[in-house]
Amino acid sequence: MRARNAGATSAYLNAFTHERARDSEDRSKSVHRGACTCAAIAGGGKLYTLDDLERGRAATFDLVHDVIRGLGIDVPPRSMLDAARAVLTGAREVHLSLFELFLTDKAGHAQDTGFARREVARTERFLDALTSIADPATDTIVVVSDHGNLDDLSTRGHTMAPVPALAWGRGAAALVENWNSLEDIGEAVLAHALSQ
């Protein structure tokens, strides 16, 4: 909302089924929504759908469709490079974008070491693919976790552990210069997006 109020365009690049996107817009329905989905809707944004996925401007939470296909959703398998390319394409259409990987959170809550390792590997493959095609002279990528969780599988809850926060690409050094806590990141990222 703050980006839009400042005249910038923004997008939440996770693709949802049409039904899920529609249900999320209908406040009369009780639909479980994650924090990022709630923020996208509250900020006046719309949820991307499988149409946006097909157009190559969004990705599903599992990137390569192994999980989503297991849920019975009819989408073709996708390479990690294609998923990264779609996220980058969607991001380049707006001033500020967000793509959420939340399976690491699910793995932490499940206290499942194998699951956690697979999701860390998935995240690393995605970031490797994304940075291999992004242009560091024009693109800026910020990676941050909103809380600790995967760091301590002895607990199902969130932890107070320091979380990773990094920036890569255009203006990255200046962007991270004053990051001392998670509270600093949002304001800095918004200011960076508005300066483009």
**Which ranges of the chain have pLDDT less than 70?**
23-32
Rounded Cα distance, 103 and 82, in Å: 19
- Residue 141's pLDDT is 97
Residues forming a β-bridge with 1: none
**Cβ contact 3:90 at 8 Å:** no
> Any idea of the CA torsion for 173, 176, 180, 183, to the nearest 10 degrees?
170
- Residue 75's pLDDT is 95
- Residue 86's pLDDT is 98
Digit-coded pLDDT (tens) for 154-164? 888 887 888 88
- Residue 181's pLDDT is 87
74: closest CA among 65, 85, 63, 83? 65
DSSP H stretches of helix in the chain: 2-5, 18-25, 35-42, 50-54, 66-70, 80-92, 103-110, 113-133, 172-176, 182-194
Supply the pTM of this predicted model: 0.89
**Cβ contact 104:34 at 8 Å:** no
